[in-house]
Chain A
Amino acid sequence: MANSHVLISSQTLGSTATSVTFSSISGAYRDLRLVITGTTTTSTVDAIILQFNGDTGSNYSVVYATGDGTSATSATQATTYLSSGVIGTSQSVSTIDIMDYAQADKHKTTLVRGNTPAWGTRMIAGRWASTAAITSIVVKTEAALTFSAGDSFYLYGVLG
Chain B
Amino acid sequence: MAYNLIQTQTVSTAVPSITFSSIPQGYTDLYLVISARSSFATGSVSDLYVYFNGTTTGYTSRWLQGNGASASSSTSTAPADPLVTMANVAANTFNSVSVYIPNYAGSANKSYTLDDVTEDNSTTAYQRIVASLWSNTAAITSLTVSEANGANLVTGSTASLYGIN
Partner of B111, one of A33, A90, A156: A90
Main secondary structure of the interface of A (DSSP, over half): strand
A74 to B66, CA, bound (A): 13
Q: Please give, as numbers and ranges, the residues of chain A lying within 8 Å of B93 by CB-CB distance.
A: none
Contacts of B75 in A (CB 8 A): 69-70
Asked if B64 CB lies within 8 Å of chain A CBs, one says yes
- A65-B71, A90-B111 in contact; A123/B129 too (CB < 8 A)? yes
- Contact at B132–A115, with CB atoms within 8 Å? yes
Asked if B122 is at the interface of the complex by the 8 Å CB criterion, the answer is no
Q: Which positions in A face B, CB cutoff 8 Å?
A: 1-7, 33, 35, 37, 65-72, 74, 90-93, 95, 113, 115-123, 150, 152, 154, 156
Total interface residues on B, using CB and 8 Å? 32
Given contacts A6-B1, A93-B102, A152-B103, contact A72 B64 (CB under 8 A): yes
Count of CB-CB pairs between chains A and B under 8 Å: 106
Complex Cα spacing A66 to B66, Å: 12
Task: Kindly name the residue among A69, A95, A122 whose own CB sees the greatest number of chain B CB atoms within 10 A.
Answer: A69
A84 vs chain B, min Cβ distance (A):
15
The residue among B1, B5, B61, B113 with the most chain A CB atoms within 10 A of its own CB is B1
Tell which of A72, A91, A95 touches B110, judged by Cβ atoms closer than 8 Å: A91
Query: In the bound complex, do residue B111 and residue A117 qualify as a contact, i.e. CB atoms below 8 Å apart?
Result: yes
Residue contact B73 to A117, C-beta cutoff 8 Å: no
Closest chain-B Cβ to A17's Cβ sits at a distance in Å of 17
Query: Chain A residues with Cβ under 8 A from B112's Cβ?
Result: 93, 115
Q: Is the Cβ of B111 less than 8 Å from the Cβ of A72?
A: no
Check if A67 sits within 8 Å of B65, measured CB to CB: yes
Interface string of B96-113 (1 = CB under 8 A from A): 000010110000111111
B89 to chain A, nearest CB (A): 24
Task: Give the distance in Å from the alpha carbon of A124 to the alpha carbon of B109 in the complex.
Answer: 25
Q: Which of A5, A67, A113 contacts B113 (CB 8 A)?
A: A113
Complex CA gap A143/B61 in Å reads: 25
B74 touches A (CB below 8 Å): yes
Chain A residues within an 8 Å CB radius of B130:
115, 121
In the complex formed, the residue of A with least CB distance to B112 is: A93
Q: Measured between C-beta atoms, what is the minimum distance from A50 to chain B in Å?
A: 18
Q: Does B72 lie at the interface of the complex (its beta carbon under 8 Å from any beta carbon of A)? A: yes
The docked-state distance in angstroms from the alpha carbon of A68 to that of B71 is: 12
Which residues on B sit within 8 Å (CB–CB) of A92? Answer: 111
**Cβ of A121 and Cβ of B131 under 8 Å apart?**
yes
Most buried by A among B5, B29, B162: B29
Additional A-B contact list (16), CB under 8 Å, known A6-B1, A117-B133: A3-B1, A35-B102, A65-B64, A67-B71, A67-B72, A68-B73, A69-B73, A70-B75, A90-B133, A93-B100, A95-B100, A115-B132, A117-B131, A121-B130, A122-B64, A152-B103
- Least CB distance from B139 to A in Å reads 14
Q: Contact: A91 with B111, CB < 8 Å?
A: yes
